[in-house]
Chains A and B, each alone.
Chain A
Amino acid sequence: MRALVWHGKEDIRCDQVSDPEIEDPRDAIIKVSSCAICGSDLHLFHNFIPAMMPGDIMGHETMGEVVETGSGMNGKLKKGDRVVIPFTITCGECEQCRRGNFSVCETTNRKKELADKAFGHGGAGLFGYTHLTGGYPGGQAEYLRVPYADSTHIKVPDSMSDEQALFLSDILPTGWQAAVQCEIEPTDTVVVWGCGPVGQMAIRSAVLLGAAQVVAIDCLPERLSMAEAGGAIPINFKEESVIERLNEMTRGKGPQKCIDALGMESHVSMSHPDSIMDRAMQMMLLENDRPHVLREIIYVCRPGGIISIPGVYSGLIDKVPMGMAMNKGLTFRMGQTHVKRWTDDLVRRIEEGQIDPSFVITHSVGLEEGPEMYKVFRDKQDSCIKVVMKP
């Protein structure tokens, strides 16, 4: 089969690879009908996430049709079913899964020893990600083996198109979880930093959840135009002061709820000297991530506020004002998305026409164009916001 394979930093290739096979009774093989490039794939593209190996298959936003199952499905999945595959692999049985903390499933990371060494206690296995999360082959391919498939799937109604359903795998529940974690009140101002795909979903989620006003921060006009269409007040941080604007909008008190939908690769600009310091430290391998946005959020957030972090951070960050956060009594909520916690509700909302996630797709291409699209997406060329591939 064909698959997008990681060969090193900035080196993705559309390779011919051997087909996946059933290895366990709980496995299923799906024929991929649609898959997408996620913003966090760019962290792998840039080799900022440790423990990738040449030959790893990329991709964790995937859907398709079941073509083969193991013997342990217990009637939950059968050949011909149309499914979205959540990026977190879940057993559905461990203590964390039973609590709904699916992204920290205790069973599915097949390299748990490695993850425990790096994180103290590792989380769930993830598709197409680092070997710290199991090193499972990803779904930017023609076929995907889904481990624990009886639990790791979302059945999709025929009435829903691939474009509407695909983002149930990651960015829609990620944006939704980010907004829900903010415990939005009708008087709240919710600010979303980063108007990439997750930011766009977080904006729509905050609007649906009834925020008084939603503010979107970015520097790319096309992304801000999409954010504004979704009900956000746009701030272009290259043209105006984020802090001054947010204070104006909140009578000088700051926003109650802040969402960091950007994570480890903050924009580097001369007007933000700390971002330059971060980039230099990152180059010298003195810190993993660039936390400029996190610093700004802690500074502008209203005392007693909530900071929700769906953006990916990989390791060590420097000069984060913890004293400021502590004295303001801020609450931090973060983590990989507990996809399955939200999917029943989100499937219903898509079916009822409350939200149509396909709005975010700007590019739809074949799998063989994937390597080029990684660069287009990374460089934000051609107004690219979300790439969907049809293998």
Chain B
Amino acid sequence: MSFFSNLKRNKSDPKVISSGPSSLSSSDRLARNLGWFSIGLGLVELFGAHRITRTLGMEGQETMVRAYGLREIGAGMMTLSVDKELGLASRIAGDGIDVVTLGAAMHRDNPRQDNVAIALVLVAGVTLLDFIAAGAARGRHTRRLGERRDYGDRSGFPKGLSASRGLAKEKARALLG
């Protein structure tokens, strides 16, 4: 196991004295938090399905809640990845499914109607955060049209392209060590 202890910085290496601004923007951090939230919620849905259905008056729908848990975990992993736009989009789609599901449970016969209403408000709030994070991520990472330059004048050959073809061919094989 001694090789694990090797994974530490040498004492003599430069150490951080004070930290500057990060490349991680506030929207990136929001996306990251939503990703972890998604995984946490997914685990709760996966392993606490009975308690959730009881709280929402949706007994008998545990399998569906567990499936939603898997969906949340998948969306969370995508949101934590570098393709966070995709993860956030899948979270928004999931929010839609959650709203429809909760909406269906929001009927007078449900003795836990109040809990469903609270859950709906919470989902609406998280959906708003998902939209904010997705919009910011799209704006940040998308290549904008009209910003593409033409580098057609950058040959890298001071003697010109034609004169440069084969200039090093005598060396090609000799150099292969």
Hey, which bits of chain A sit against chain B, CB under 8 A?
1-3, 5, 7-21, 23, 45-46, 51, 53, 55-57, 99-101, 110-111, 113-114, 116-117, 131, 135, 137, 141, 180-181, 183-184, 186, 200, 204-205, 207-210, 220-223, 225-226, 228-231, 268, 279, 282-284, 338, 341-342, 345, 349, 353-357, 359-360, 362, 368, 371-372, 374-375, 379-383, 385
Contacts and interface: CB of A to CB of B under 8 A. Distances in A.
B125 to A, nearest CB: 26
Given A46-B82, A208-B168, A355-B158, 10 more contacts: A19-B14, A21-B12, A55-B9, A180-B176, A181-B176, A210-B172, A222-B151, A230-B155, A355-B164, A357-B156
A222 B149 contact: yes
B167 A354 contact: yes
A208 B164 CA distance: 6
Contacts of B167: 208, 354
Contact of B161 (A116, A230, A283): A230
Given A55-B9, A180-B172, A225 B17 contact: no
Contacts of B150: 221-222, 225
Interface of B: 2-3, 6-10, 12-24, 28, 77-78, 81-83, 140-144, 147-159, 161, 164-169, 171-173, 175-177
Q: Which 3 A-B pairs have the closest CB atoms?
A: A210-B169, A210-B166, A359-B156
Contacts of B23: 10-13, 45, 371-372, 374-375
Contacts of A205: 168
A92 to B, nearest CB: 15
B172 A382 contact: no
Nearest to B163: A354
A207 B164 contact: yes
15 contacts: A7-B22, A11-B23, A14-B20, A15-B20, A114-B3, A116-B3, A141-B14, A180-B172, A204-B157, A209-B168, A209-B169, A356-B158, A359-B154, A359-B156, A381-B144
Contacts of A379: 140-143
Contacts of A230: 154-157, 161
A45 B22 CA distance: 12
B148 A100 contact: no
A20 B14 CA distance: 6
B7 A14 contact: no
A368 B21 CA distance: 9
A383 B149 contact: yes
Given A16-B18, A210-B169, A10 B153 contact: no
Most buried by B among A205, A360, A375: A375
A15 B6 contact: no
Contact of B7 (A53, A183, A342): A53
B28 A10 contact: yes
Nearest to A51: B7
A200 B9 CA distance: 35
Given A180-B175, A385-B151, A375 B140 contact: yes
Contact of A383 (B148, B157, B165): B148
B82 A10 contact: yes
B15 A55 contact: yes
A57 B14 contact: yes
Contacts of B177: 99-101, 338, 341
Nearest to B157: A355
A135 B156 CA distance: 34
Nearest to B147: A382
A208 B158 contact: no
Contact of A113 (B6, B154, B169, B175): B6
A23 B16 CA distance: 19
A1 B161 CA distance: 43
A243 to B, nearest CB: 26
B152 A229 contact: yes
Given A10-B23, A113-B2, A117-B3, A354 B176 contact: no
A350 B24 CA distance: 38
A111 B6 contact: yes
A368 B175 CA distance: 40
A371 B22 contact: yes
A371 to B, nearest CB: 4
A141 B15 CA distance: 12
Given A10-B24, A18-B17, A114-B3, A228 B152 contact: yes
A231 B9 contact: no
Nearest to A136: B13
A121 to B, nearest CB: 14
A182 B91 CA distance: 46
Nearest to A130: B7
Given A13-B21, A200-B156, A371-B20, A23 B12 contact: yes
Contacts of A116: 3
Contacts of B172: 180, 183-184, 209-210
Contact of A210 (B18, B83, B168): B168
